[in-house]
Amino acid sequence: MTEEVRWERLTAPEINALAARNALVVLPVASLEQHGPHLPVWTDSALGHAMAVRAAEIARDVPAVVLPPMWMGLSEHHFPFGGTISLDYATFAGVLRCVARSIIACGFRRLFLVNSHGGNIEPLAVASREMAHEFGIPVATTSLPRVAAQEIAEILETQPGVQHACEAETALWLHLDAAQVRQDKVAGAASQGGNLGNPLVTRFWSFEERAPVTGVRGNPPAATAEKGARLAAVIAEGLARAMRDEVLWTTPDPVWAPGRAQGRR
């Protein structure tokens, strides 16, 4: 029997046994938000969880256990299109902090935050840094496109990388569960332009500004199930590499400890 990697399918004693093995806890961090007229609002949560589970199944030598996805992120920029539930940063960081406290109480000492929503990237960078300082455990974060950026670019034909409800995300759904794609809506779902802003300057833009009309960035009509299978493979492999990277999972320097400036730990 294949060893289960999904936290919610395990018993408490089985989870305790994984803690005793210093298993890596993986939390998919996602969203519940509009994904154009053709994809469900559950897209980021479903795709992020699926990729994290596949990666944990590949990296069985680590070992790793995958929590259910954190299905609310920072998605207020999608409100103009409806179907969206969002947290603010304080609540988002607070939920993550409670997850970290909980896994530490369960005996785990490593946390990997696997992100599948663009609006979470900057908040996760700050939250993971703060939790590493507070709890003294390695807390690492990455986003699905980052772990295989070059491979993804080579698979996609009409866009340079993963965008939103796009060629990539539509292809992943076609591979994982084609019934979730509203096929009759795909042809009219392509991006209608929008203001992408100055890439050198950060400010808030809603998706009404960045992806008017459809709420989509990218070209979903170019998606195929075959592309989705290839994307899933390279993303899962990229995540598995990070899970196996021993340098990532060393104990963080306790820089806030009294006397650290004098070289004391």
In the chain, domain spans: 7-253
Q: How many CB atoms lie within 10 A of CB 223?
A: 29
Tokens of 265: 């730990």
Cα radius of gyration rounded to whole Å, the chain: 19
Give me the tens of pLDDT residue by residue for the chain, a chain 265 residues long: 479 999 999 999 999 999 999 999 999 999 999 999 999 999 999 999 999 999 999 999 999 999 999 999 999 999 999 999 999 999 999 999 999 999 999 999 999 999 999 999 999 999 999 999 999 999 999 999 999 999 999 999 999 999 999 999 999 999 999 999 999 999 999 988 888 778 899 999 999 999 999 999 999 999 999 999 999 999 999 999 999 999 999 999 999 999 999 888 7
**7-253, CATH topology level:** Rossmann fold (3.40.50)
Which residues does residue 68 pair with via DSSP β-bridges, in sequence order?
none
Q: Which residue has the tokens 């993303």?
A: 235
The span from the CA of 47 to the CA of 24, in Å, is 20
**Would you state the pLDDT for residue 197?**
78
The 139-143 sheet, strands edge to edge? 64-66, 24-29, 111-115, 139-143
This prediction's pTM: 0.96
